[in-house]
A and B are shown apart, each in its own frame.
Chain A
Amino acid sequence: QQPVQSPQAVILREGEDAVINCSSSKALYSVHWYRQKHGEAPVFLMILLKGGEQKGHEKISASFNEKKQQSSLYLTASQLSYSGTYFCGTVTWDNYGQNFVFGPGTRLSVLP
Chain B
Amino acid sequence: QVTLKESGPVLVKPTETLTLTCTVSGFSLSKARMGVSWIRQPPGKALEWLAHIFSNDEKSYSTSLKSRLTISKDTSKSQVVLTMTNMDFVDTATYYCARVPEWLDAFDIWGQGTMVTVSS
Task: Tell whether A and B belong to one assembly.
Answer: no
A residues with a Cβ closer than 8 A to B are none
